Amino acid sequence: MTDKTMTPEEAVSRLHSGMTLGIGGWGSRRKPMALVRALLRSEITDLTVVAYGGPDVGMLAAAGKIRKLVAPFATLDSIPLEPHFRAARQRGAFALTEVDEAMFMWGLHAAANRLPFLPVRAGLGSDVMRVNPGLKTVTSPYEDGETFVAMPALRLDAALVHVNRADRLGNGQYLGPDPYFDDLFCEAADHAYLSCERLVDGFADAVPQTLLVKRHSVTGVVETPNGAHFTSCAPDYGRDEPLQKLYATTPWPQFAERFLHGDEKTYQSAVQAWHEEQR
Amino acid sequence: MTTPSTTTRAEYCVIACAEAWRDNGEVLASPMGTIPSIGARLAKRTFSPDLLLTDGEAMIVGLDGATEGWLPYRQHLAMVTGGRRHVMMGASQLDRFGNQNISCIGDWARPDRQLLGVRGAPVNTLNNPVSYWVPRHSPRVFVPKVDMISGVGYDSAAAAGPSATRYHRIPRVVTNLGVLDFETGDRTMRLASLHPGVTVAEAEEATGFPLVRPDEVPATREPTPEELRLIREVIDPEGLRDGEVPV
């Protein structure tokens, strides 16, 4: 069977400018940050990013790589407002498709099921309809005759997700309290790149419900220990709150210069060095 | 013996928030903010014992914090659309029909201040009861018209038709000054009660549109001695409530 393991650089080399890219996790929780950092090191730009936004969105926005964002929010959770997303919006740096959290989920479901849309009640009466003039409604053919928003499929060229464990074939396991929507991101995408804390040889002793991502929806597997840092990756580690705070309060060029000037190993060493300075 | 005069403003706010979940039955109470969280726990410890609470992430927990169920985001969204939930959200702006904004201030295309985004406000307001908590009642929050309708108000729901109004309900808005609701013929915001010590003039001055009100505005009810004991000794012994609404 196909060994799909690759480096972050190899995964990113398969992406290109102008793509529609889904990013898993939620806010500042289990984001595929090592893959995002590899993306930041690349020449790729002009992206349509589809995400429950966190620092992934903030960093890509700060680096000027987003042409359009599809999202219901961007937040750092413990810091409610994502500063770089915020600054980019306020300078009109990218187009935004702002939808509700549930609409977003149904858009992924529609894409995973190869449907053009799914009906949702959410959105009606809100300014989501005003700021997305392309959104259409659909009327039930049954007796109720109700009208709903026809949430279009959020089909992705590629998805990036991060889980706790994976095998070389692309099966992924989450061990924390919430799967978020990472399986849906993979199923909604033509290609998915799955990073993990640790590669394993199989899941013989696994609790079956933890086996979230199936290999048929995965193109590449990347082992990146601490690869969700500084977002949380329970139970392997929690959010690095001091580093996140530094990210949120440091001008972007300065933060990038200190932490993002080299490869992933350089990043992890820079983080360690910073923490040692704080003691 | 505790006398009503010793009750703090934050404690009246807790009572007013707790009352939002009275007679709700077996639904998920989703409080956002410190005082709504204390209020939901008080309601569950007293008059609404069947409420469900979460740990703020993916677990349904009892009052002692022990897990009783699992509620990851995907199932949480199903609970929202199934309607067995009453959320108390925050609001950066609220208008007299209950339209709420947490998305951005100014022109949406290029906002003066980008906030969170609409989050789940559209799905919440169309599917399960949504109350609001405003810790600093001011004309900056209570505006004639919100800049971006995130949470749907009564006029916007009516304009969008029966699918929008079917499960739409805004039971109450609790602030540091009092309680507001929409129990008026045209569903405009009404001053339902004032916390003791707050005057009608004070509430009107802090609101950027005319409030419907009776000639005599009732006072927010007094906590019982048992409720005060629960708030002070059991639910919030560290007094986090005073950090959100100062004494």
Residues of A in contact with B115 (CB under 8 A): 81
Give chain A's domain count: 1
Smallest CA–CA distance, residue B53 to chain A, in Å, is 16
Please report the sign of the dihedral spanned by the C-alpha atoms of residue A172, residue A176, residue A177, residue A178.
Answer: negative
Contact B72 A177 (CB under 8 A): yes
Residue B73 is nearest to which of A75, A127, A180, comparing CB atoms?
A: A180
Residue B157 is nearest to which of A71, A85, A125, comparing CB atoms?
A: A125
Task: Report, as an integer, the average pLDDT of B51-69.
Answer: 96
H helical segments located in chain B = 9-20, 34-45, 73-82, 121-127, 154-160, 162-165, 200-205, 225-229, 240-244
Give the residue carrying structure tokens 């959320």. B87
Percent of chain A surpassing pLDDT 70? 100
Q: d(Cα A148, Cα B195) in Å, to the nearest integer? A: 41
Residue from A85, A100, A139, A209 to probe the interface with B (highest B Cβ count within 10 Å): A100
Q: d(Cα A51, Cα A57) in Å, to the nearest integer? A: 8
Give the residue carrying structure tokens 């993002």. A260
Q: CB distance from A92 to chain B under 8 Å? A: yes
Smallest CA–CA distance, residue B24 to chain A, in Å, is 23
Q: Mean pLDDT in chain A? A: 98
Residues of A in contact with B110 (CB under 8 A): 89-92
Those residues whose C-beta lies under 8 Å from the C-beta of residue A217, and which sit 6 or more positions away, are A170, A183, A186, A187, A189, A192
The radius of gyration of chain B's CA atoms, rounded to the nearest angstrom, is: 18
The Cα angle at residue A123 between residues A118 and A124, in degrees rounded to 5: 105
How does residue B247 score in pLDDT terms, banded at 50, 70 and 90?
Answer: confident
Contact A73 B118 (CB under 8 A): yes
DSSP for A8-25, please give it: HHHHHHT--TT-EEEE-S
Structure tokens given for B126: 């169309």
Q: What is the pLDDT of residues B129-145, one digit of tens each?
A: 999 999 999 999 999 99
Residues of B in contact with A128 (CB under 8 A): 118, 122
Residue A192 has pLDDT above 50, yes or no: yes
Domain membership flag for residue A33: yes
Closest chain A residue to the Cα of B99, Cα to Cα:
A126
Domain membership flag for residue A174: yes
CB B71 within 8 A of CB B58: yes
The 3-state DSSP class for residue B102 equals coil
Supply the pLDDT for residue B4. Answer: 47
The CATH number given to whatever domain includes residue A41 is 3.40.1080.10
Residues of A in contact with B104 (CB under 8 A): 89
Smallest CA–CA distance, residue A44 to chain B, in Å, is 25
Q: What is the pLDDT of residues B88-111, one digit of tens each?
A: 999 999 999 999 999 999 999 999
Kind plus residue range of the DSSP H or E element containing A161: strand A156-166
Q: What is the amino acid identity at position A94? A: F
Domain membership flag for residue A62: yes
Contact B121 A126 (CB under 8 A): yes
Contact A102 B80 (CB under 8 A): yes
Q: What is the pLDDT of residues A145-183, one digit of tens each?
A: 999 999 999 999 999 999 999 999 999 999 999 999 999
- β-pairing, A211-213 with A20-23? unpaired
Other CB atoms closer than 10 Å to residue A145's CB: what's the count? 10
Q: Which one, of A222, A219, A85, A70, lies nearest residue A159 by Cα?
A: A219
Domain membership flag for residue A57: yes
DSSP code of residue B246: -
Those residues whose C-beta lies under 8 Å from the C-beta of residue A47, and which sit 6 or more positions away, are A17, A18, A19, A20, A21, A60, A65, A66, A67, A68
Domain membership flag for residue A93: yes
**Which fold is adopted by the domain B4-239?**
Glutaconate Coenzyme A-transferase (3.40.1080)
Domain membership flag for residue A127: no
Contact A127 B103 (CB under 8 A): yes
Residue B2 has pLDDT above 80, yes or no: no
CB B240 within 8 A of CB B6: no
Helix axes A33-41 and A264-278, enclosed angle (nearest 10): 110
Domain of residue A219 covers 8-99+154-199+208-239
Domain boundaries, chain B: 4-239
- Classify burial at B115, counting beta carbons within 10 Å of its beta carbon; exposed 0-12, middle 13-18, buried 19 or more: buried
Q: What is the pLDDT of residues A195-214, one digit of tens each?
A: 999 999 999 999 999 999 99
Residues of B in contact with A98 (CB under 8 A): 103, 108, 117-118
Size of interface A-B (CB pairs under 8 A): 137
Supply the pLDDT for residue B177. Answer: 98
Q: What is the pLDDT of residues A55-107, one digit of tens each?
A: 999 999 999 999 999 999 999 999 999 999 999 999 999 999 999 999 999 99
Residues of A in contact with B116 (CB under 8 A): 73-75, 80-81
**A83 cis-preceded (ω within 30 degrees of 0):** no
Residue B233 has pLDDT above 80, yes or no: yes
Residue A89 is nearest to which of B74, B111, B168, comparing CB atoms?
A: B111
Closest chain B residue to the Cα of A149, Cα to Cα:
B163
Q: How far is CA A252 from CA A40, A44, A259, in A?
A: 13, 19, 10
Per residue, the 3-state secondary structure of A53-119, as one string, reads ECHHHHHHHHCCCEEEEEECCECCCCCCCCHHHHHHHHCCCCEEEECCHHHHHHHHHHHHCCCCEEE
Closest chain B residue to the Cα of A129, Cα to Cα:
B149
Note which residues in 112-131 of chain A have CB less than 8 A from chain B. 120-128, 130-131
Domain membership flag for residue A218: yes
Q: What is the pLDDT of residues A212-221, one digit of tens each?
A: 999 999 999 9
The Cα angle at residue B246 between residues B245 and B247, in degrees rounded to 5: 120
Percent of chain B surpassing pLDDT 70? 98
**pTM as predicted:** 0.97
End-to-end CA distance of chain B: 20
Given strand B53-54, what is the order of strands in its sheet? B53-54, B59-61, B67-70
Residue B237 φ/ψ, nearest 5 degrees: -65, -20
Smallest CA–CA distance, residue A267 to chain B, in Å, is 28
Q: What is the amino acid identity at position A115? A: L
Residue A177 is nearest to which of B57, B80, B103, comparing CB atoms?
A: B57
